[in-house]
Structure 1
Amino acid sequence: MKKLVQLYINSYRGLSTEAWLLALVMLINRTGSMVIPFLSMYMSSELNFSKAQVGMVLGCFGLGSVCGSWLGGWLTDKFGNYRVQATSLILTVPIFLILPHFRTFESLAGMIFLLTLIADTFRPANSVSVARYAKPENLTKAYSLNRMAVNLGFSIGPALGGILATFSYNWIFYGNALAALSAAVVFIIFFRKRKPRSAAQPKVHTEKIRTEKDRNAYLDPPFIIFNIFCCLFSMAFFQLLSTLPLFYKEVKLMSEGQIGLLLGFSGFVIVLFEMLLVHAVEHRFTPRQVMIFGTGIAGVSYLMLNAPFGTAWLYLAMFILSVGEMLTLPFTATISASRATLNTQGAYMGFNSLSFAAANIFSPFLGTYIAEHFGYQSLWFSTAFVMLFTSVGFSWILKKM
């Protein structure tokens, strides 16, 4: 027991105060992540949208995310990460409050696009903040801490959302608005006058900054290919937020509360184990080795959904998916930050965020289409195949990077 406690302490050692404060802001913001996992069920059961309409609205969610990620990267390099993050958090509050009043397919699709356009300008700016405030030798840990906060919020949010949904779906939107407002207040208080660390740039590029012309993230061929594979990984992984809740409800006949707990379990696992896992593997294996294995076992977790077992099996599949996520996503951010120079961090982190956001355009539409026309079994076989193909792709491109 003492060894385990010491391992936990070591996994957090060296993280800056700013990294902890950024994680706190992210935790508050993501505790309000109630809308996303229940959006497909809200449209299906409350608004009586067809699966095709659900897929298209979620595609608008992804399109807004793509535009927001690109815009956030550009704005961060132009105006700084503080202004972009504060503005994004503040502007999302009124949109969440009025969203329940848009109940037609066209109006809801437009509002979901606007919401994610504004909300996702936050992501690249926040990633740049982590890189600027973290100690260079603890960059992956800092990203993992930030993700841990995201997932702790995501474990709390769906559980709360499941409870609120039993009364009214409208309360989910109001809960999101309250969380965004609280995160904005905390962020402004802590970071309004705080200066970034001068040594925040990863060591791998400190010499290149002095001797090499800044690369354009969007004209960097290996990085472009890397982001294509990140997008493919995300298209498969983000079935978690679109078709997986529908699968639980329609095939496994679970209630909203049960679904919220199962989705929240993913965040709980990541909170408990991600820092330990990253601390254990980052100095023993290369990012390439870790990402190959992580992507592969994420594919296995989706394959498990075709087995005719009960709730315990679903929790096991979710646990394995969470391990795959922990072994993949923190290292995508580290690789992106390490490839950039100080002058191009916003563009590089924005491009990487864009690759994940782009997946949100195609992932829900393809997922709901396959589920409706070919069944959930075909969907999970397809998802597993994409994950395994992506694992091979990471193996190839990371060798070149």
Structure 2
Amino acid sequence: MKRIIQLYINSYKGLSKEAWLLAIVMLINRTGSMVIPFLSMYMSSELNFSKSQVGIVLGCFGLGSVCGSWLGGWLTDKLGNFRVQAVSLILVVPLFLVLPNFKTFEGLALMIFILTLIADTFRPANSVAVARYAKPENLTKAYSLNRMAVNLGFSIGPALGGFLASFSYDWIFYGNAIAAFAAAIVFVYFFRNRIPRNKIKTLNIPEDKEYEKKDRNAYLDPPFIVFNIFCCLFSMAFFQLLSTLPLFYKEDRGMSEGAIGLLLGFSGFVIVLFEMILVHGVERRFTPRQVMIYGTAIAGLSYLMLNAPFGLAWLYLAMFILSTGEMLTLPFTATISASRATFNTQGAYMGFNSLAFAAANIFSPYLGTYVAEHYGYQTLWYGTALVLLFTSMGFSWILKKM
């Protein structure tokens, strides 16, 4: 027991004060993530939208996320990560407050796009802030801490959202606004005059590394473009977790909504409990390339396990393995993106990487449900596992070139 406690202590050692503060801001912000888990139910039960209309509105959410990721990266390089994060957090507050007034299909679709566009400018700016304030030797752990805050917030948010929805769906939007406002206050208070610790790192590069000193265009950097294509493929396969996997649990395995919620919540619990200690262990023994290869392949194995005709314990084991693959892959995508950039282009690089994941939110639900409906869940899981295995080999190839 003492050894386990010591491992946990060591996994958090070396993290800067700013990394903890950024994680707290992220936790407060993501605790307010109540709208998205209940948006489809709100549209179908309260607004009587058809399934096709619900799908289009959710597509607008994904499109706004893509545009916001690009815009956030561009603005961060122009205005700095502090201004972009502060403005994003402040502007979404009135948008959440007025959102319940838009009850037509066209009006809600437009508002969801605008809301997500502004909200997701925060993501690349926040990723740049982590890179600027983290100690270079602890960059991956700093990103893992941020992800842990995101997962903890996503675990708390839907529970609060379910409670508020029992009174009125409108309170879900108001709760999101309150959380964003609280995150804005905390962020501005702690970071308004704080100087990044990595502000002058580009001045220390030796003169013979001219290529590394030049500012590259993230969208014209061929190896990074290919890397992001594989990140998008990983996301399209992995994010079946949020679309077709709950449907599989209900339709194929006959699970209740409560049981499905517990199983999905188990994923967040595993990540909060184990990610920091896992990343601390593997980054000392393996290269980021090796970790991402193994992590992607492990995620593929978890989907392959779903075709085995075993019971609930097996499904929990598959979810644990999927969470392990996620913990081994996602923190290192941010680390590689930040390391590829120069000081003046970190916003663009982090924005491009965020865009790769956001783009998956547009295509992943449609492709997954289409395959499940026309070819069955067994084909879907074989296909998902195959995509992740291909992506694992793709990461092996492109990261060797990077």
TMscore range, shorter length: over 0.9
Find the counterpart in structure 2 of residue 323 from structure 1. 324
Find the counterpart in structure 1 of residue 133 from structure 2. 133
Measured in 1, the distance between the counterparts of 2:234 and 2:49 equals 28
Q: Structure 2 stretches of 5 or more lacking a match?
A: none
Measured in 2, the distance between the counterparts of 1:300 and 1:203 equals 44
1:61 and 2:47 aligned: no
What's the CA shift for 1:49? 4.1
**Is the alpha carbon distance of 1:178 and 1:272 closer, same or farther for their aligned partners in structure 2, counting shifts above 3 Å?**
same
Q: Match for 2:392: what amino acid?
A: S
Moved over 6 A (4+): 202-207
**Is the alpha carbon distance of 1:354 and 1:125 closer, same or farther for their aligned partners in structure 2, counting shifts above 3 Å?**
same
What's the CA shift for 1:335? 0.4
**Is the alpha carbon distance of 1:205 and 1:99 closer, same or farther for their aligned partners in structure 2, counting shifts above 3 Å?**
farther
Count of residues in correspondence between the two structures: 401
1:265 and 2:257 aligned: no
Find the counterpart in structure 2 of residue 290 from structure 1. 291
Q: Match for 2:229: what amino acid?
A: I
Measured in 2, the distance between the counterparts of 1:96 and 1:173 equals 5
Report which stretch shifted further, 204-213 or 90-99.
Answer: 204-213
Find the counterpart in structure 1 of residue 399 from structure 2. 398
1:147 and 2:129 aligned: no
Q: Match for 1:23: what amino acid?
A: A
Q: Percent identity?
A: 83
- TM-score normalised to the size of structure 2? 0.92
Asked whether the 8 Å contact 2:202–2:213 carries over to 1, the reply is no
1:374-399 superposed Cα distances (whole Å, 9 cap, x missing partner): 34333333222221211111111111
Measured in 1, the distance between the counterparts of 2:158 and 2:244 equals 15
What's the CA shift for 1:268? 1.4
Find the counterpart in structure 2 of residue 156 from structure 1. 156
Q: Secondary structure at the match of 1:285?
A: coil
Measured in 2, the distance between the counterparts of 1:213 and 1:289 equals 28
**Is the alpha carbon distance of 1:247 and 1:178 closer, same or farther for their aligned partners in structure 2, counting shifts above 3 Å?**
farther
Find the counterpart in structure 1 of residue 340 from structure 2. 339
Measured in 2, the distance between the counterparts of 1:201 and 1:333 equals 18
What's the CA shift for 1:298? 1.2
Find the counterpart in structure 1 of residue 93 from structure 2. 93
Asked whether the 8 Å contact 1:218–1:224 carries over to 2, the reply is yes
1:369 and 2:351 aligned: no
Measured in 1, the distance between the counterparts of 2:311 and 2:101 equals 38
1:238 and 2:226 aligned: no
Measured in 2, the distance between the counterparts of 1:303 and 1:51 equals 29
**Is the alpha carbon distance of 1:184 and 1:211 closer, same or farther for their aligned partners in structure 2, counting shifts above 3 Å?**
closer
1:341-361 superposed Cα distances (whole Å, 9 cap, x missing partner): 111111111111111111111
Measured in 2, the distance between the counterparts of 1:40 and 1:366 equals 18
Report which stretch shifted further, 301-310 or 176-185.
Answer: 301-310
**Is the alpha carbon distance of 1:96 and 1:253 closer, same or farther for their aligned partners in structure 2, counting shifts above 3 Å?**
farther
Asked whether the 8 Å contact 1:32–1:157 carries over to 2, the reply is yes
1:117 and 2:117 aligned: yes
Q: Structure 1 stretches of 5 or more lacking a match?
A: none
**Is the alpha carbon distance of 1:174 and 1:369 closer, same or farther for their aligned partners in structure 2, counting shifts above 3 Å?**
farther
What's the CA shift for 1:222? 0.4
Asked whether the 8 Å contact 1:201–1:341 carries over to 2, the reply is no
Q: Secondary structure at the match of 2:289?
A: helix
Find the counterpart in structure 1 of residue 77 from structure 2. 77
- TM-score normalised to the size of structure 1? 0.92
1:17 and 2:17 aligned: yes
1:179 and 2:179 aligned: yes
Q: Secondary structure at the match of 2:239?
A: helix
Find the counterpart in structure 1 of residue 280 from structure 2. 279
Measured in 2, the distance between the counterparts of 1:356 and 1:204 equals 32
